[in-house]
A and B are shown apart, each in its own frame.
Chain A
Amino acid sequence: MEEEIRPLPKFDYFSPHSLHDLSTLLKQLKGGISFLAGGTDLLVNMKKRITIPKVIIDINRIQELSFIEKRSNNIHVGSVTRLNNLIESSIVQENVPLLTEAIRFLASHPIRNRATIGGNLCTASPAADAAPPLLALNASVKLKSPDDEKIVPLSEFFVGPRQTVRKHNEILTEIIIPCEKGSNAFMKLGRRRGFTLSVVSVAAFGIIKGDKFEDIRIALGGVAPTPIRAYKIEEMLKGVEVSDRSIEKAAEIAKSISKPSKRAKRASVEYREAMARVLTKRVLMKIAFEERG
């Protein structure tokens, strides 16, 4: 049943203009904090009373959190970068096209004008479209608290549905994505093509040498409590000949490692498992085709 939509609950509101002001603020506040980035999830959850924050810290006015830069061989993206700015960025298109491809059909155009890359990761939906490509690209995230800063591989960031390792006084400041040359493929299955939440999504990055998979990294969304890297598939394919048989075997593994929640809406466990197999197969076929011509 749909939750009732109500006016926003009461909260205190702060809108710091710099990371320095944010740190000062975080030292004073005790908890019950929600960071407001794009607001496209937070405000909906507040209206449904799924989230009732005591304090909202609006991070949209912190200019330092909005950037896209190439430094040495990594792309650095500020957490409050809007999805449409990422899609339109030539730096992202040229260096990490897998990310562009994956978020091109995330929600709808006007939502992407507000929704941010950091928000998509911190919300930590099992079906977040930005997660599988970033997992496959070996991305990491920078977490900053008032007195500490650390870099966490994205593969260790998600711990459960809507849960991450981020602590209440930490903010995700940037995403770091290594640039590598290879083939990319992303596929998402929703209930329809436009403006849809993913039921299952699969992202892969691969290098093929001769007729063998030299390196494959593959990640799935919507098939487990968190987006997952399919290490089992990667190990199985490494150094193996590109063939219908090896791809079929990889797709079977995708099905077997899928552990979707029984309570997940939009699709049954069986359907998600079956689609994990189909999408994995198609994604690997695309990589095989692209690399061998």
Chain B
Amino acid sequence: MKIKFQLNGQPVEAEAPIDETLLDFLRNRLRITSVKKGCDLGECGTCTVLLNGKPVRSCLLLAVQIDGEDVTTIEGLSKDDNLNPIQEAFVKEYGFQCGFCTPGMILTTKALLDKNPDPSIEDIKIAFEGNLCRCTGYDQIIESVLRAAKLIKR
């Protein structure tokens, strides 16, 4: 099925097989490999994308479902060679180690801060319920989100 959608602010037209998840479509056809395949069951959060600004699991959507919608992956965050303040904060606070969960973590941060520019630690924990990190123990990720909030406000 032919689909048209916005990907990181750019219009995209592509052929999407109806039995393909958005995750496989992004990775295998559009070569957006920042969207990771972790559990493929909606539990780990590494395949997070923003659908109309909200974090969702691309492994639990069919590619054909995004026809006419707006999708953001981490490629949509940095402008030219400049990091987005959220990316900057994750670098400064060591908010990642192996990096596998990081695109999902940063997109989840973006959705949270767009809605709530001044989140409490509890707000952050709720937003990150479905994003697993096996390296950091989460403290640095929470610090990164708090720092990102400060950077964006400045």
- Do A108 and B54 have beta carbons less than 8 Å apart? no
Complex Cα spacing A69 to B101, Å: 39
Residues of A within 8 A of B108 (CB): 110
A251 smallest CB distance to B (angstroms): 30
Q: Are A8 and B65 also in contact (CB < 8 A) when A110-B56, A110-B57 are? A: no
B interface residues (Cβ-Cβ under 8 A, vs A): 1, 18-21, 24, 39-43, 45, 48, 51, 54-57, 59-62, 64-65, 108, 125-131
A36 smallest CB distance to B (angstroms): 8
- Do B19 and A43 have beta carbons less than 8 Å apart? no
Which of these binds chain B: A9-17, A146-154, A242-250? Answer: A9-17
Complex Cα spacing A108 to B43, Å: 9
Q: Are A108 and B129 also in contact (CB < 8 A) when A43-B21, A43-B60, A58-B65 are? A: yes
Residues of B within 8 A of A114 (CB): 56-57, 60-61
Complex Cα spacing A12 to B1, Å: 11
- Do A11 and B18 have beta carbons less than 8 Å apart? yes
Indicate whether A236 reaches chain B with its CB closer than 8 angstroms: no
- Do B18 and A40 have beta carbons less than 8 Å apart? no
Residues of B within 8 A of A49 (CB): none
Q: Are A109 and B65 also in contact (CB < 8 A) when A10-B19, A194-B125 are? A: no
Interface of A is mostly: loop
Closest to A58 in B: B65
Residues of B within 8 A of A13 (CB): 1, 18, 62, 64
A interface residues (Cβ-Cβ under 8 A, vs B): 5, 7-13, 15, 36, 38-40, 43-44, 47, 58, 60, 84, 107-111, 113-114, 194-195
Closest to B57 in A: A110
Complex Cα spacing A79 to B54, Å: 20
Residues of A within 8 A of B21 (CB): 8, 43
Closest 9 CB pairs of A and B: A108-B130, A108-B129, A13-B18, A195-B129, A110-B55, A8-B19, A113-B54, A194-B129, A110-B130
Complex Cα spacing A7 to B40, Å: 9
Partner of B57, one of A15, A58, A111: A111
- Do A40 and B40 have beta carbons less than 8 Å apart? no
Complex Cα spacing A87 to B119, Å: 18
Complex Cα spacing A136 to B43, Å: 30
B49 smallest CB distance to A (angstroms): 10
- Do B55 and A40 have beta carbons less than 8 Å apart? no
Residues of A within 8 A of B39 (CB): 5
- Do A110 and B125 have beta carbons less than 8 Å apart? no
Partner of A7, one of B24, B41, B43: B24
- Do B130 and A195 have beta carbons less than 8 Å apart? yes
18 interchain pairs, CB-CB under 8 A: A11-B18, A13-B18, A13-B64, A43-B60, A44-B41, A58-B64, A108-B129, A109-B55, A109-B130, A110-B48, A110-B54, A110-B55, A110-B57, A110-B130, A110-B131, A111-B130, A113-B51, A114-B61
